Structure 1
Amino acid sequence: MRSVAVIPARYQSSRYPGKPLVKLLGKPMLLWVAELSAKALGQENVYVATDDHRIAEVAQHAGFKAVLTSSGALTGTDRLAEAAESIDADIFINVQGDEPLVDPEDICRVRDLKQASMDTVINGYCWLSEEEDPHSVNLPKVITTEAGHLVYMSRSPLPGYKDAKNAPVHYKKQVCIYAFSKPELKAFRDFGRKSELERSEDIEILRFLELKRPVLMLETRAGSLAVDVPSDVAGVEAALRKKHAC
């Protein structure tokens, strides 16, 4: 089976326009993600899905394939689904373009679990660090069954509790590495709209609950940091410096 990484990237981000091209230590963030994806799957298996020629040109100049999509994609997964129509592959791994610290080994582990579970969507998670606030709306929190299947995901702290003595000691957060089959992506896009929960939480993986598609959560390496808003850049650059100094 052929596995590919597809990085959805749009220029007109509502919270951070031009985010895929923001420079981190002098390199566009998109290329940090593409290069790490290439370490996992090989450069020939990395695609950038975008509706913006500026982003496509940066990707292609660096030797990566770019797939131009329409401007009306509802989410990154919808954009990936559109791009998948022109890519010959069995497994499509969505690696978010704002995760420049993604671990290539985690991409491989997500791929391997998908190969063993082709009828199940795969998504990553890790535990919130002590420095991260579970009340932050920029961190989707995850609750799963004991077997690891997704129950729900929210920007509010989850799980809740009635009695303080039962409050969770740690919280899980989403890591934006996903693995899909082409039929799963088609079903997602064919839904034609954001589901009510998806729209309210602004978390696209929730659409699969409406489609009755199981989602298996895989624990990944801790320390993943995303760039959601401009104020995140300094912290991510510091983490990149520390990582590359090792």
Structure 2
Amino acid sequence: MSSCVIIPARYASSRFPGKPLAKIHGRPMILWVAELSAEAVGREHVYVATESELIAEVVISAGFNAIMTDPEALTGTDRVAEAAQKLDYDVFINVQGDEPIVRPEDIRRCIQIKLDHPYDIVCGYCWMNDKEDPTSVNVPKVVVNEADMMVYMSRLPVPGHKTKQSAPGKYAKQVCIYGFSRSDLAQYRAFGRKSYLESCEDIEILRYLELNLSIRMFETPSGSLAVDIPEDISAVEEAIFLR
């Protein structure tokens, strides 16, 4: 069964314009993500899906593949779904372009879980550490049941609690590595709009709940850091330095 990584990279980010080209230790962030993805699947199987000629030029000059996609794509997953139509693979791994310390072994694990559970959407998560703020709206928190299936994902701290004594001891957050089949992506794009929950939370995976598809979560080691705003870069640079 063949697999590839597609990295959605939008230049016109509302919170951080030009984010994929933001420099991390002097190198564009998108290339950090592409190189780590290449360690998992091979350079020839890594594609960057973008609306930006500038991003495409940077990617291609570094020896990676770029696929131009609709500037009006609703989400990164819609962009991945559009790119997937032009590719011939069995498993498509969506690695977000703002995950510059993604672990290649987690990408490989996502592929294997998708192969083992072909009818489930697959997504990573990890536990937040004491330095992370579960009330931050920049970090999607996830509720996973005892069978490792996603119950819900929110920008609020979930699960909630009625009393101080019943408060969760820790919170889980999304790690943006997703495993899809061609059919999964086609269904997502065919929905044609953002779902109600997806629009409220601004979390794209919630559209799959409206499609009544199961979302299987897999735990990764703590330490995942995404770049949502410019202030996040310093923490990522420190994490890279400490590796």
Unaligned runs of 5+ in 1: none
Quote the residue 2:221 is aligned against. 221
Residue 164 of structure 1 deviates from its aligned partner by 1.3
Distance in 2 (alpha carbons) for counterparts of 1:2 and 1:60: 22
Distance in 1 (alpha carbons) for counterparts of 2:44 and 2:233: 29
Distance in 2 (alpha carbons) for counterparts of 1:32 and 1:221: 19
Quote the residue 1:118 is aligned against. 118
Query: Is the counterpart of residue 105 in structure 1 residue 108 in structure 2?
Result: no
Residue 73 of structure 1 deviates from its aligned partner by 0.4
Equivalences for 1:165-176 in 2 at 5 Å? 165-176=165-176
Distance in 2 (alpha carbons) for counterparts of 1:151 and 1:239: 30
Quote the residue 2:72 is aligned against. 72
**Number of aligned residues:** 243
Letter in 2 for 1:69: T
Letter in 2 for 1:217: M
Residue 234 of structure 1 deviates from its aligned partner by 1.0
Query: Is the counterpart of residue 231 in structure 1 residue 231 in structure 2?
Result: yes
Residue 238 of structure 1 deviates from its aligned partner by 1.1
Structure 1 residue ranges, 4+ long, deviating more than 4 angstroms after superposition: none
Give identity over the alignment, percent.
58
Task: Indicate the RMSD between aligned Cα atoms, in angstroms.
Answer: 0.5
Query: Is the counterpart of residue 240 in structure 1 residue 228 in structure 2?
Result: no
Letter in 2 for 1:76: G
Letter in 2 for 1:166: S
Letter in 2 for 1:242: L
| Structure 1 contact 103–221 (Cα < 8 Å) conserved | no
Equivalences for 1:29-108 in 2 at 5 Å? 29-108=29-108
Residue 233 of structure 1 deviates from its aligned partner by 1.0
- CA deviations on 1:181-216 (whole Å, 9 max, x unpaired) are 000100000000000100000000000000001000
Distance in 2 (alpha carbons) for counterparts of 1:188 and 1:221: 28
Quote the residue 1:8 is aligned against. 8
